[in-house]
Chains A and B, each alone.
Chain A
Amino acid sequence: MPPAAIELPEIDESASAKEGALVAWLGARERVAIGYSGGVDSAYLAVLARRTLGADSTLAIIGRSASYPAEQWATARAVAHQFDVRILELDTQELDDPRYAANPSNRCYFCKTELWGKLVPVARARGFDVIVDGTNADDLTDYRPGAQAAREHGISSPLAELGFTKSDIRVRSRALGLPTWQQPSSPCLSSRVPYGTSVTAGRLQQIERAERALRALGIEGDLRVRYHDELARVELSRDALERWLHADRACGLRDALLDAGFERVAIDLRGFRSGSLNVLHGVTAA
């Protein structure tokens, strides 16, 4: 994953104090299973649990599906290998659920219901009664219908509970030597499809090809290819936006996305924003 331009404080006593509280929280549990994607949050949580509880008492569980980017999967495996975190991989079939595939605004609820519905029994069968996810305190301010499914399945969110912001997690990840500390946020591929437009494996593959093509052009930091039928709407970081809004360079970007299967390509003038499609559909404020 290319490095993003992320500025963090060199020393953050607040984040260190939160990490102390997290170590105590984990230490009070004998064994912990983590819903693990290899993203910034769950990677940090898995590595800290491994350090606190040991290899036999920590299990990171990956839910694989068409909405999970292959690059993210590779990162998840690499981080687990580097830090000696045991992983278990499960296939999830959220795309087979018509309630998910129809892509309502609470789509994430059906995805997480499928994920936790499979993960929890598997974890418990292996003696892991405490199951956690990487939800952080910043996530609580966004529209996250998946959180309801987590609650229904008894999932704990210690990072959110202890007040960890994304910045805190990046600071402590860097201190622990995790390569994910400067990794861009990486929500599932379905988040690129506007609500009401059905989610299919083909569309997710098209989006994944498109984003991989943009990375291959050297675009770093946060980026999203939003799916609008024949049109790809590209959201870039501010620096990348200003670099690529020139006709000569834009041609290369356009060609890359046409090769990925889109017929038209447009660059969003506001650039990357998390939850952009929530705004477009009036789910959250602009």
Chain B
Amino acid sequence: MFASSADAESKRKADLLAQSLAGMGLPARVEPRAMLAVIQVSASLMSRLAEPEIRRAVLALAREQGFTHVAVELAAGPADGDAALRRP
């Protein structure tokens, strides 16, 4: 199956958000689901998202790419969470 142009655009925005997050020291995988961005970060970085200013920055970067909502996925455990990020 070929990806639609909407899929491609969505993926492009997710990639741009992932680059921006990496730029602020928060490497993450970004999964676009329409206007929701689901991000996966390593367990060791999750607690940074508890800081309001970090969350505000992430939400602002996501808005720049058209995402109205950002949610961080909870991994099975610290080891699994880090493994998920290493997957290609």
What is the interface of chain A, defined by CB distance below 8 A to chain B?
Answer: 228, 231, 233-234, 238, 241-243, 245-247, 250-251, 253-254, 264-270, 276, 279-282, 286
Contacts and interface: CB of A to CB of B under 8 A. Distances in A.
B12 interface: no
Nearest to A228: B33
Interface residues of B, number: 28
Residue of A238, A247, A250, A276 with most partner-chain B CB within 10 A: A247
B38 interface: yes
Contacts, number: 76
Contacts of A265: 73-74
Given A245-B47, A245-B49, A247-B81, A270 B70 contact: yes
Given A247-B44, A280-B34, A270 B73 contact: no
Contacts of A234: 71
B16 interface: no
A276 B6 CA distance: 23
A149 B73 CA distance: 39
Contacts of A266: 38, 71-74
SS class of chain A's interface: helix, strand, loop or mixed? mixed
Given A266-B74, A267-B72, A246 B46 contact: yes
B76 A242 contact: no
B69 A280 contact: yes
A286 B68 contact: yes
Given A228-B33, A247-B43, A247-B47, A270 B72 contact: no
Interface string B46-74: 11011010010011000100001111111
Nearest to B43: A247
B88 interface: no
8 contacts: A233-B36, A247-B46, A247-B75, A247-B78, A264-B73, A265-B73, A268-B71, A280-B35
